[in-house]
Amino acid sequence: MVIKAITGFFARLFGGIFKEKRNVKLGFYGPPNAGKTSLANRICKDFAGEELGKVTRIPHETREVQVKEKVEINHKGRKLTLKIVDTPGIATKIDYEDFMRFGLNEKEAKKRAKEATKGVIDAIKWLNDVDAVVVVLDATQNPYSQVNITIIGNLVARKLPVLIAANKTDLRKADVKRVEAAFPEYDVIGLSAKFGKNVDDFYENLFNLLK
């Protein structure tokens, strides 16, 4: 009884000191082409010195879950170690002909479509293995898509902490207020992962989410 009380005291004492240097598996989820990899790259570049994945304008560029271990984030004296899990975009339809409009030939487009469908399934499976999620949405697009609602509903059902990044605020069509109106129960941070606009606010909110 006494030993238990003493160990509990030390656990609380040192747990308090080191509580902000936890290992958190942070998933990046969202529809295709929202900028999940761009944001994950931004974090990896800022704190680990190297990017995580390739970014192109063709949808479903990320077709496999990409993981970066032990990314140590320092922000205003607070520390956090992240395992960054960048997932393929979740979609309900994939048409190889859409890829051909970006210059891919039929064979390449079909291969990409096949990999993309597998990527969606893998991304959903990874939901069981993350501690918190950043939902990355394209702020120039209608936020009321069922994919967005399904992703966020799933995270709520799993009781995972959620932060919404309304990306691409460098574009004139971006409307962060519309994203906020669509998901009033969540913190929404408008940012541009490509140009690093407002990422400080994003880190601040990330620490608040994971505290």
Q: How many whole angstroms from its chain centre is CA 24?
A: 13
Both tokens assigned to 85: 């899990």
Assess 139 for contact with another protein (CB under 8 A).
Answer: no
Cβ atoms of 196 and 168 closer than 8 Å: no
144 touches another protein by CB under 8 A? yes
| Region from 47-55, 56-64, 79-87, 109-117 binding another protein, contact rule CB under 8 A | 109-117
Q: Work out which of 92, 106, 129, 201 binds another protein, going by CB under 8 A.
A: 92
Our finding on whether 140 is near another protein (CB under 8 A) is no
Residue 150, interface with another protein (CB under 8 A)?
A: yes
Q: Of the candidates 16, 53, 26, which has an alpha carbon nearest to the alpha carbon of residue 130?
A: 26
Q: Which stretch binds another protein (CB under 8 A): 21-29, 89-97, 133-141, 165-173?
A: 89-97
CA–CA separation, 60 and 39 (whole Å): 15
How far is it, in rounded angstroms, from Cα 128 to Cα 146?
21
Angstrom distance (rounded) from CA 32 to CA 116: 10
Using rule CB under 8 A, residue 74 touches another protein? no
Binding another protein (rule: CB under 8 A), the pick from 58, 154, 160, 180 is 154
The answer to whether residue 114 forms part of the interface with another protein (CB under 8 A) is yes
The closest of 88, 27, 28 to 58, measured between CA atoms, is 88
Q: Which residues make up the interface to another protein (CB under 8 A)?
A: 90-95, 110, 113-114, 117-118, 120-121, 124, 127, 142, 144-147, 149-150, 153-154, 156-157
